[in-house]
Amino acid sequence: MHDCEAPARLTDGFRRFRRRYYEDESSLFHDLVHNGQSPRVMMIACSDSRVTPSLVFDTGPGELFVVRNVANLVPPAEFDDHRHGTSAALEFAVERLKVAHIIVQGHSRCGGIQSLLEGIGGQYTRPWLTIAARARAEVLAQHPQADPKDQAHALGQASILVSLENLLSFDNVRRAVVRGELTLHGWYFDLEAGRMLRYEGTSQRFENLA
């Protein structure tokens, strides 16, 4: 059946947005339009409709530079003429906006991670998910008998570490990190528990974000 309510809901939503930001807080958008954006944080998040970064982190316009894709993956630097959407956003964030932080934001119950775990996917999804194939092999080797839900948790977190490693394969990212101008983070949103976990380099574990 044709769903004509969804666009109407968005139209109403835009009216509320306009009231909020163009009437009550007009100065904020005036500033963002005339002076441009200068977000300090780039977030690489999943396309999943439940993990919208501005909602989860309660941020306003101009605060987060976000790229979302299936399973919040960062591919390695690749020197060809293919169309690399995530890498292009990364380049813009680092070279133009000079963000100080990049957060790879994963989450539990991820359809992309589940597809990777099961080895399924379509024409574009399957090759995309192979970015984290190494994480899958590691998780299946370390937890061969584990409950699939626990394997998915482990894979969601392990794939974040692959993306953090891949970030360093981009020259501009690596140089900014070495200069101390950029910090990389791996975070994981546990949907069931309503908890945010953060990867800690010292313990090499994902720990509760206070």
Residues contributing to the site for Zn ion (CB under 5 A): 46, 48, 110, 112
Nearest one of 110, 101, 108, 107 to 167, comparing CA atoms: 101
Q: Which is nearer to Zn ion, 112 or 186 (CB)?
A: 112
- Residue 81: CB minimum distance to Zn ion, A: 29
**Distance separating alpha carbons of residues 181 and 207, to the nearest angstrom:** 24
DSSP state letter for 54? H
CB nearer to Zn ion: pick between 153 and 182:
153
State the nearest-atom distance from the C-beta of 111 to Zn ion, in Å: 6
Tell me whether residue 91 or residue 190 sits nearer to Zn ion (CB atom): 190
CB of 50 to Zn ion, least distance (A): 8
Write the secondary structure of 4-43 as one string of H (helix), E (strand) and C (coil).
CHHHHHHHHHHHHHHHHHHHHCHHHHHHHHHHCCCCCEEE
At its nearest, how many Å lie between Zn ion and the CB of residue 75? 16
Which sign, positive or negative, has the C-alpha torsion 118, 209, 86, 10?
positive
Residue 4 or 55 having the CB closest to Zn ion = 55
